[in-house]
Homo-oligomer: A and B are copies of this chain.
């Protein structure tokens, strides 16, 4: 039975990336390490793909896609683009919706690995926990197959992250709104996922660099159990009634941005004259409200194309960048006039 790249890395006590470099004839590896790896391959043999060995067959040409909820507008788009790119590359997509519970996610990862997939794609930043022990399952998975993470970053051998720089995108949006003359900006969010934290950091950085006092009072977390947009609008009304004044709203997603448009309608505030609003994700929802919502596009299509290209490179034994970061762009519609 010949060895996979993972077996070789274990036996040689070096990273998978190093084995990969040797297999591809890279000159960046110490000669003694190179010799050690080649000796192991001479002794045991080498099979390019772990699934191939496990199945006694050629590769399954199947990639496991895990996401919390493929009916979420943002995640649905990501899954669609991934599937299309994988298809073009000759791979099938095994889809697994895990829900948002971390323990459930770990179980699903084990299940999908038992199906002998060639790689794993974790879609959405909610796969990365705040506490390191929560991410042990990613490390374990990466010893079996390449793990690709979309929209979040995690550093480990055989783990590849493709994401939008949410912090910087939010920083630039908040700065642009501030510099247009709107200094009292309500920041709305309801999730502290990896990207949720980055967006909030970006907003804070922007306010700090403008030396805006009291901006923390206008950072407002909407309870996650408020689901209807009407109720979120009422929640914003209560926040305003409690004595908070704001002439701009930046929302961590488009739903919250639309709730802000509804809040303005309820109180006959004209948008954008009396209230400017920016959403996030540039989803199909931005067109549904009136006026249409300005929103930050995190370039999901480009991210997914890059992710699949990186994965295929890794599967073919090429050296690929472990982290690729894209910049978001603001798509201006009618809730802003700067």
Instruction: Check if A83 is an interface residue, CB within 8 A of chain B.
Output: yes
Q: How far is the CB of A108 from chain B (nearest CB, A)?
A: 8
Instruction: Check if A297 is an interface residue, CB within 8 A of chain B.
Output: no
**Assembly of this chain: how many copies?**
2
When the two chains form the complex, which single residue of B92, B97, B292 contacts A84, counting CB atoms closer than 8 Å?
A: B97
Alpha-carbon gap, A292 to B81, bound state (A): 30
- Segment with Cβ contacts to B, from A22-30, A72-80, A145-153: A72-80
Number of interface residues of A (CB under 8 A): 36
Q: How far is the CB of A130 from chain B (nearest CB, A)?
A: 26
Q: How far is the CB of A267 from chain B (nearest CB, A)?
A: 13
Taking CB atoms and an 8 Å cut-off, the chain A residues in 225-259 that contact chain B are 228-230, 258
Instruction: Check if A93 is an interface residue, CB within 8 A of chain B.
Output: yes
Do B287 and A229 touch (CB < 8 A)? yes
Taking CB atoms and an 8 Å cut-off, the chain A residues in 81-140 that contact chain B are 81, 83-84, 87, 92-97, 112, 115
Do B285 and A262 touch (CB < 8 A)? no
A92-B115, A290-B262, A292-B230 are contacts. A80–B71 as well, Cβ < 8 Å? Answer: yes
Instruction: Check if A274 is an interface residue, CB within 8 A of chain B.
Output: no
Instruction: Check if A281 is an interface residue, CB within 8 A of chain B.
Output: no
Contact with B along A285-312 (1 / 0, CB 8 A): 1011110100000000000000000000
When the two chains form the complex, which single residue of B79, B258, B287 contacts A95, counting CB atoms closer than 8 Å?
A: B79
Q: How far is the CB of A99 from chain B (nearest CB, A)?
A: 9
Alpha-carbon gap, A182 to B92, bound state (A): 51
- Which B residues touch A77, using CB under 8 A? 71
Whose C-beta in chain B lies nearest to the C-beta of A334?
Answer: B230
When the two chains form the complex, which single residue of B69, B79, B285 contacts A288, counting CB atoms closer than 8 Å?
A: B285
Whose C-beta in chain B lies nearest to the C-beta of A285?
Answer: B288
Instruction: Check if A270 is an interface residue, CB within 8 A of chain B.
Output: no
Instruction: Check if A284 is an interface residue, CB within 8 A of chain B.
Output: yes
Whose C-beta in chain B lies nearest to the C-beta of A71?
Answer: B80
- Which B residues touch A79, using CB under 8 A? 70-71, 76, 95
